[in-house]
Amino acid sequence: MNYSNHDFLVEPARTYPQFWRTALGMVLSALFYIALIAVFFGAMALTIPDSEVLPALADPTAPATPGSTMAMLYSFVCMMLAVVLSALIMHRRGLATLLGPWDMLISDFFRVMGVLLVLSFITTLLPPYGGDDPAREPTQNMAVNVWLWLLPFTFLGILIQVSAEEIVFRGYLQSQLAARFKNPVIWMLAPALIFGSLHFAPSMQGGNAIVVAIWATLFGVIAADLTARAGNLGPAIAMHFINNFIGIAVFSAQGPLSGLALYVYPFGMDDPELRAFLPMQFLSMLVAWLAACLAIRR
């Protein structure tokens, strides 16, 4: 493993590498996020008071709508702003230092995106993950013309969501920990464990919650590895984008993020049926990681 490029992200973090700054920075990020998210949805309530979006967001059991899913995705702007403000206050770091060199980021993003698009197309030609059981087959959620009309807004919303998460966990937390601790186990695993724990939601995922959290933790480790190899967030954002685009906009389980999906499975995240898909999901993630490593190899 060659992590020499990681210095592009770690070097700006070495100016203020103290662990207490990083810990306080994460606390400030959370506080800023809470304040900004309140402003975001408060502004929505004032500008579109009769919309069905806010009631759908307030009730996790309510059917998702395109508006509620879109609002949830775009609300991640608040997370992005929160961590940028925190990095500026605690470490004098701007957004560019959290992303990596711009030319490398763009190049690596499109390299990995291209490879993973081809890989995703190939996997769609494989037999269904759950076999031929009609109970597991997805049904069309919206008309194709409506889905296509919404697609640019869906693209942007998912890009905002995955970019915000990667900036927090890989751009900020990973690089700051790497500036303080030399051991990769610390700066790769700690952000991944936090990332995974935030995906642990027994109230929504039921008996699947632990498996989903483990899956997210493994994804976090893979994203950390790609970030360290590339020295920028391009590969991690691309991989995260492809994963979420398929799971949100193409084939989605029933839930708060299914409002923009072209097809929806007849079960939710808490249904035992979901477990039939998880082994293939783990395998697909590992194959995608290997493909991404090859794409950014210099």
In whole angstroms, give the CA distance from residue 206 to residue 202: 5
Residues belonging to the chain = 298
In whole angstroms, give the CA distance from residue 245 to residue 83: 24
The pTM of the full predicted model, rounded to 2 decimals, is 0.92
Q: How many other CB atoms sit within 10 Å of the CB of residue 270?
A: 20
**80 SS3 class:** helix
pLDDT tens sequence across 229-248: 999 999 999 999 999 999 89
Closest among 112, 79, 96 to 236, alpha carbons compared = 112
Look up tokens 């935030």; give the residue.
198
pLDDT tens sequence across 199-208: 888 877 777 7
Q: Mean pLDDT, to the nearest integer, of 256-268?
A: 86
Residues contacting residue 169 through CB under 8 Å, at least 6 positions apart: 191, 192, 194, 195, 220, 223
In whole angstroms, give the CA distance from residue 18 to residue 11: 14
pLDDT tens sequence across 275-286: 777 777 788 889
Q: How many other CB atoms sit within 10 Å of the CB of residue 176?
A: 31
In whole angstroms, give the CA distance from residue 5 to residue 54: 43
Which segments within 102-246 are labelled E, that is strand? 139-140
Contact 165, 195 (CB under 8 A): yes
What are 251's strand-pairing partners?
263
177: tokens are 């920990």
Between CA 18 and CA 22, with CA 21 as vertex, the angle to 5 degrees is 95
Closest among 62, 277, 264 to 147, alpha carbons compared = 264
Q: Fill in the amino acid letter for 277.
A: F
Look up tokens 């939710």; give the residue.
268
Which segments within the chain are labelled E, that is strand? 139-140, 251-254, 263-268
What are 268's strand-pairing partners?
254
Q: Mean pLDDT, to the nearest integer, of 83-112?
A: 96
pLDDT tens sequence across 172-219: 999 999 999 999 999 999 999 999 999 888 877 777 788 889 999 999
- Expressed in angstroms, the distance from the first to the final Cα of the chain is 13
Look up tokens 């950014």; give the residue.
296
CA distances from 208 to 154, 195, 211, 270 (A): 27, 17, 5, 6
Residue 17 pLDDT greater than 60, yes or no: yes
